[in-house]
Chain A
Amino acid sequence: MSDSLTRAEPVSSEPFAAQGVTITLAPPMARLSLRARDRATLEDLLGRKLPAKIGATAGEIACLGPDEWLLRSAQGAAIPLGEGLPLAVTEISERAVCLIVEGPRAAEVLMAGCPLDLELFASGRATRTIFETVEIILIRSGENRFEVEVWRSFAPWLQLALTTAAAQLR
């Protein structure tokens, strides 16, 4: 039955460009919420190191809280769920979409609605934060490149807000 369903994105996948800033919908990806009191149990399960510091990233994994990580990877990657272990691996791929804000003035566009001082937010950092009143996860994946994870139903508003901020850069 699922063969008859076609994927619908909550926002247009047409890239937007203004003032040297592009805003693009990222292709679909796998997302997993990783929770454990003891980081080592997750590291054993996944066979890779997890960042220990809140706000740090290591490859595909971001540390969001003292016992919380977000893993984003290509679709179809096999991740063990760790049944019976004192941890939780939860599939949340379709909860959010990702908008990529890129360009020399990308930080300025985000600071239109995000209270973080992005000049101090180095490349490789990630955090849950807020844009106006909408919760986002902000990942700085390059000097001029930000990935904004946002829950699907908030994405149309956020895309409008970001493209409007970009169009109004002077």
Chain B
Amino acid sequence: MLLIHCPYCDEQRAELEFAYAGEAHIARPDDPAAMSDEDWQYYLFVRANPRGRHHERWRHTHGCGRFFNAVRDTLSDKFEVTYKAGEPRR
């Protein structure tokens, strides 16, 4: 079973308790109306999909309920680090 460290509970917990929530550090544009369709489409749909280090959001749904960020290797599925929401990108 994959174990994930929750930065709020400060514990390794089973993946079953967590929900994946997409790529991390994607800020919603301040003024969507001022954007071109192309930029808006890029914001909505285009994601990095890297081979290797991936910054992603997770939620400890069946635990403390918090969203947090993680760096996971998409090749090995190994979690490099997890950190609280709002902290700078690692």
A residues in contact (CB < 8 Å) with B: 54-55, 64-66, 68, 115-116, 127-130, 135
Assembled-state Cα–Cα distance A86/B9 (Å): 24
Contact between chains at B8 and A128 (CB < 8 Å): no
A-side contacts of B66, CB under 8 Å: 65-66
Fill in one digit per residue for B1-36: 1 if any A CB lies within 8 Å of its CB, else 0.
Answer: 100000011110110110000000000000000000
Q: How distant is the Cα of A127 from the Cα of B1 in the complex, in angstroms? A: 19
Given the known A-B contacts A54-B8, A55-B9, are A128 and B62 also in contact in the complex, defined by CB atoms under 8 Å? yes
Minimum C-beta distance from A150 to chain B (A): 12
Q: How large is the interface on B (under 10, 10 to 19, 20 to 34, 35 or more residues)?
A: 10 to 19
| Residues of chain B lying within 8 A (CB to CB) of residue A135 | 62
Q: Tell me, yes or no, whether B52 is within 8 Å of chain A by CB.
A: no
- Contact indicator A68/B17 (Cβ below 8 Å): no
Contacting pair A66 B16 (CB below 8 A): no
Please tell me which one of the listed residues A55, A65, A115, A116 contacts residue B65 in the complex, with CB atoms under 8 A apart: A65
Give the CA-CA distance A68 to B64 in the complex, in Å. 8
Q: How far is the CA of A62 from the CA of B13 in the complex (A)?
A: 19
Name A's interface SS: strand
The answer on a CB contact under 8 Å between A127 and B63 is yes
B contacts, CB < 8 Å to A: 1, 8-11, 13-14, 16-17, 62-66
A65 near B8 with CB under 8 A, answer yes
Q: Which residues of B contact A129 (CB under 8 A)?
A: 13, 17, 62-63
Chain A residue numbers with a CB within 8 Å of B65 are 64-65, 68, 128
Across-interface contacts of B11 in A (CB, < 8 A): 55
Given A66-B8, A115-B16, A130 and B64 contact (CB-CB distance below 8 Å): no
Is there an interface contact between B64 and A54, defined as CB atoms closer than 8 Å? Answer: yes
Among B8, B11, B16, B64, chain A packs the most CB atoms within 10 A around the CB of: B64
Q: How far is the CB of B14 from chain A (nearest CB, A)?
A: 3
For the complex formed, measure the closest distance between the CB of B69 and the CB atoms of chain A, giving whole angstroms. 15
Q: Supply 27 A–B pairs (Cβ within 8 Å), ascending by A.
A: A54-B8, A54-B9, A55-B9, A64-B64, A64-B65, A65-B8, A65-B63, A65-B65, A65-B66, A66-B8, A66-B66, A68-B64, A115-B14, A115-B16, A115-B17, A116-B13, A127-B63, A128-B62, A128-B64, A129-B13, A129-B17, A129-B62, A129-B63, A130-B14, A130-B16, A130-B17, A130-B62
